[in-house]
A = this chain, B = another copy of it.
Amino acid sequence: MERNVARLKARLDGLGVTLRPHLKTCKSVDVARRVMTSPAGPATVSTLREAEQFAAAGVRDILYAVGVAPAKLPQVLALRARGADVAVVLDTVEQAQAVAQASRSAGTRIPALIEIDCDGHRSGVRPDDAQRLLDIGRALEAGAELRGVLTHAGGSYAASGSEALRQCAETERRSVVDAAAILRAAGLPCPVVSVGSTPTAHHATDLAGVTEVRAGVFVFFDLVMAGIGVCQVSDIALSVLATVIGHQRDKGWILIDAGWMALSQDRGTRRQAVDQGYGLVCDMAGVPYADLIVGDANQEHGILMVRPGSDGLLPDLAIGDRVRILPNHACATGAQHRGYHVVRGTSGRVEAEWPRFGGWQ
């Protein structure tokens, strides 16, 4: 984990941009303090519950990076009143009007970033839709604070290979730089130009015009990131420790006490070149067994098997033996747990326990 964090920080230092880590991956104050560039932030969150938890731990510069629902603005105002500079994100005139209205009513100016759709992946204003950009910007300025523009190259998760990822990063960069230019040309402010996804953050070679990069999963990495070439399997800093509870020898199955409650149901490697099932199986030192995956999972049962198509052999694991499962998606697997057991190297000795907060919102 420390190596993963140092790697991205060094990379972004070289590109002259600030890291605003996305704390939705860790949902842990202990991890956040090791990822952020200062104890006060900057930070990105995906729910206002995260914002509250991190604000209570002293984080002051918080971007709530999911399009804001008007009913959540009183919670944003309460956080700001307690001293946290919480900014919101939106992509419609209706939201901008609601933020401006809430700001006027509270006698303050809620900062907001306009979300840009760089790749058709999800939400946001198309960067060439100048009219909508200006309408939103002007609606915000009637009471709130237009702080900038933001995008997320969600499409980069489906890319593969350095050249494709560099292209995603450049498309991501250009979308917000273009949108910022439209706003500024109309006399509107746009101090923040924010991009971010773990794949593009690791492949951008030019971030001219960008002020900050958001990324989350890089802190732990996972099999999806390894599959698209952003990290090696040996970089993955999160695993689930499980115990062998049975065998179906005629089927080539080993049963463990970790099902989808422990691993999550994320099957993000399903469409990648190497399908890792519900996770890749390692020994206690974190070294993968050849082609051994969690091939199926029920709520509290995982079924280990050799990857279909492989001529690998099932390892000789006895009842009670322990294995480590590497996750497809660190955010999803982490969300199934109440905390982290921190180990260093291959000793397996637990140096610390770091709680995480769970639950939706």
B-contacting residues of A (Cβ < 8 Å)?
24, 46-47, 66-71, 91-92, 94-95, 98, 117, 120, 122-123, 154, 240, 243-248, 251, 255, 257-258, 260-262, 264-267, 298-301, 303, 318-320, 331-332, 335-338, 358-361
Contact = CB atoms under 8 A, between A and B. Distances in A.
Nearest to A339: B359
B245 A69 contact: yes
Given A67-B257, A70-B319, A337-B360, 20 more contacts: A24-B300, A46-B300, A66-B300, A67-B245, A69-B243, A69-B245, A69-B319, A69-B320, A70-B320, A95-B246, A98-B319, A122-B301, A123-B255, A123-B301, A258-B360, A260-B332, A264-B265, A265-B265, A265-B266, A358-B359
Contacts of A265: 264-267, 332
5 contacts: A95-B245, A240-B360, A261-B335, A264-B265, A265-B265
A94 B248 CA distance: 14
Max chain B C-beta neighbours (<10 A), residue from A117, A264, A359: A359
Contacts of A46: 261, 299-300
A94 to B, nearest CB: 4
B300 A246 contact: no
Nearest to A216: B299
Given A265-B266, A299-B24, A301-B66, A92 B247 contact: yes
A94 B202 CA distance: 48
Contact of A336 (B120, B251, B360): B360
A261 B49 CA distance: 13
A323 B244 CA distance: 42
Contact of A92 (B98, B120, B246, B337): B246
B332 A359 contact: no
Contact of A358 (B123, B264, B331, B358): B358
A117 B217 CA distance: 40
Given A246-B123, A255-B122, A265-B332, A154 B67 contact: no
A360 B92 contact: no
A70 B301 CA distance: 16
A337 B357 CA distance: 11
